[in-house]
Amino acid sequence: MDAEWIRGLAGGILIGLGGAVYLLGNGRIMGASGILGGLLDGSGRSTAVERLAFLAGVFTVPLLIGTFADGTPETHITSNAAVLILAGLLVGVGTRAANGCTSGHGVCGISRLSLRGIAATAAFMFAGILTLAVMRRLLGVI
């Protein structure tokens, strides 16, 4: 357990450093959903190259670590295609409607004490906890 919280804290600091570089360097809020969403709906066309560079970093570093360090990262993504599709749609629609996700509202919003960031984070945490309580503990579906 103690090794896990240290890794969590260290990984969190790296995530925050990523946000700090993006803010202090490019003057932008690091939001994963906004960076991808702006490419998909065309609203971020003028900054497309920057967005692609960011995504390349997000994709490449875990790939490199997986290849050269301690193997493929462990994950437990469900193989239930219906759950994957429904969850993906909800995450996509929800984060774009709310203009942010865990990185934008959670990390960048809370750290500047934005009321919207704090409220959004509270809302998605509440919904996530409720989903696990109902779908796993009550119905045993996921």
Partner 1 sequence: MLRIVLSLTAGGLFGGGLMLSGMTDTARVQGWLDIFGRWDPTLAFVMGGALLPMALAWRLAEGRRPAAGGRFPAPPRAELDQRLILGSLLFGIGWGLAGLCPGPAMASLSYGGWQGAVFLAAMACGMMAAPRLSRHLDRRAANA
Residues 38-67 that bind partner 1 (CB under 8 A): 40-41, 49-51, 53-63, 65-66
In whole angstroms, the minimum distance from the beta carbon of 45 to partner 1 comes to 14
- How many residues in the shown chain lie near partner 1 by CB under 8 A? 107
Restricting to residues 115-134, name those near partner 1 by CB under 8 A: 115-117, 119-121, 123-133
8-37 positions binding partner 1, by CB under 8 A: 8-30, 32-33, 36-37
3-state secondary structure the chain: CHHHHHHHHHHHHHHHHHHHHHHHHHCCCCCHHHHHHHHHCCCCHHHHHHHHHHHHHHHHHHHHHHHHCCCCCCCCCCCCHHHHHHHHHHHHHHHHHCCCCHHHHHHHHHCCCCHHHHHHHHHHHHHHHHHHHHHHHHCCCC
CB of 69 to partner 1, least distance (A): 9
Minimum CB distance to partner 1, residue 140 (Å): 11
Kindly write out the interface string for residues 76-105 of this chain, putting x where it contacts partner 1 by CB under 8 A and - elsewhere: xxxx-x-xxxxxxxxxxxxxxxxx-xxx-x
- Of 45, 68, 114, 139, the one binding partner 1 (CB under 8 A) is 114
Residue 3 CB, nearest distance to partner 1 (Å)? 11
Q: In angstroms, give the least distance from the CB of 101 to partner 1.
A: 5
